[in-house]
Chains A and B, each alone.
Chain A
């Protein structure tokens, strides 16, 4: 069966510090991968998605970047965090075989920038 791991679960970082959130998927090959941010009352905002190694699409301009160094690894980064980067970050994956299936979500990371 497929599983998705996302860590850490919670993180408190000072303004101006770097960020690295990691997500890995097991049990499937060549998944589509996604990073979402969730802010209270705003639903889920798609930040980045990837259809393959090194292929990253950014949905919104921001202070964050994403990388996919391996087929089932997706990393969200920032060189200098802003207060506005606080939120709940969710990694997700979906099949890439042409079927329009649902996305499968990790447990999320609560990021607080202080």
Chain B
């Protein structure tokens, strides 16, 4: 049973560019959440998708957008990249409901030059 997978593993972009990160949830999971983790910090919640709709959003600008597909996979898009967007982007999948556990993918390391 495959866990959460993310692609690409690493990415280097320049300021002003746009990036798309991809996530496949653990088999059977219907909810995908995205987090940004700066070096030495805890993950920061970006948004969460369920039934192909954004359900919750953290304190991130509209430059950050996402999508969930019918097979529950998800994309995170970031436009007009800033140096401060350099971070590890984590995807986590779970089942909607009372189970507390979220399963995290290995992340995409984004570097903005």
Instruction: Specify whether A and B are partners.
Output: no
Q: Chain A residues in contact with chain B, CB under 8 A?
A: none
Q: Chain B residues in contact with chain A, CB under 8 A?
A: none
